[in-house]
A = this chain, B = another copy of it.
Amino acid sequence: MKVRTIAELVGGKAEGDLDREMTSGRALDRAGPGDLAFWESRSGAAALPDTAAGCVIVGPDAVAPGRTLIRARRPRNAFARALRALRPEPPTAPGIHAGAAVSRAAKIAEGVAVGPHAVIESGAAVGRGTVIGPGAFLGAGAQVGEDCRLHAGARVSGGCRIGDRVVLHAGACIGADGFGLVFETDHYEKFPQIGAVVIGDDVEIGANSCVDRGALDDTRIGAGTKLDNLVHIGHNCQIGKHVVMAAQVGLSGGVTVEDYAVLGGQAGIGEGARIGARAQLGGQGGLLPDKTLAKDGVYWGTPARPLRERLAAQARVNRLPKLQEQVKRLRSRLDALEKK
Enumerate chain A interface residues (CB-CB to B < 8 A).
24-27, 30, 74, 76-77, 80-81, 83-84, 87, 90, 97, 99, 101, 115-117, 119, 134-135, 137, 139-140, 151-153, 155, 157, 167, 169-171, 173, 176-177, 179-184, 186-192, 194, 202, 204, 206-208, 210, 212, 216-217, 224, 226, 228-230, 232, 234, 242, 244, 246-248, 250, 252, 265-266, 268, 270, 283-284, 286, 301-302, 313, 316-318, 320-321, 323-324, 326-327, 330-331, 333-334, 337-338
Contacts and interface: CB of A to CB of B under 8 A. Distances in A.
B87 A192 contact: yes
Copies of this chain, complex-wide, total: 3
30 contacts: A25-B194, A26-B217, A77-B189, A80-B180, A80-B191, A81-B189, A84-B190, A117-B135, A137-B153, A139-B152, A151-B157, A152-B157, A153-B155, A173-B208, A179-B229, A186-B242, A206-B210, A208-B208, A208-B210, A208-B230, A210-B230, A212-B229, A232-B247, A232-B265, A248-B250, A316-B320, A316-B321, A317-B320, A320-B320, A326-B331
B151 A153 contact: no
Contact of A313 (B181, B283, B284, B317): B317
Contacts of A331: 326, 330
Contacts of A265: 232, 250, 252, 268, 270
Given A188-B244, A266-B268, A313-B320, 17 more contacts: A25-B194, A81-B189, A101-B117, A119-B134, A137-B170, A170-B173, A171-B171, A171-B208, A188-B242, A250-B265, A252-B265, A268-B284, A284-B284, A317-B320, A327-B330, A330-B331, A330-B334
Nearest to A248: B250
Contacts of A97: 101
A162 B239 CA distance: 36
Contacts of A151: 157, 176
A101 B119 contact: no
Contact of A26 (B167, B216, B244): B216
Nearest to A242: B187
Contacts of A179: 206, 226, 228-229, 246-247
Contacts of A173: 169-171, 207-208, 229
Contacts of A26: 216-217
A318 B244 CA distance: 31
Contact of A170 (B140, B155, B226, B229): B155
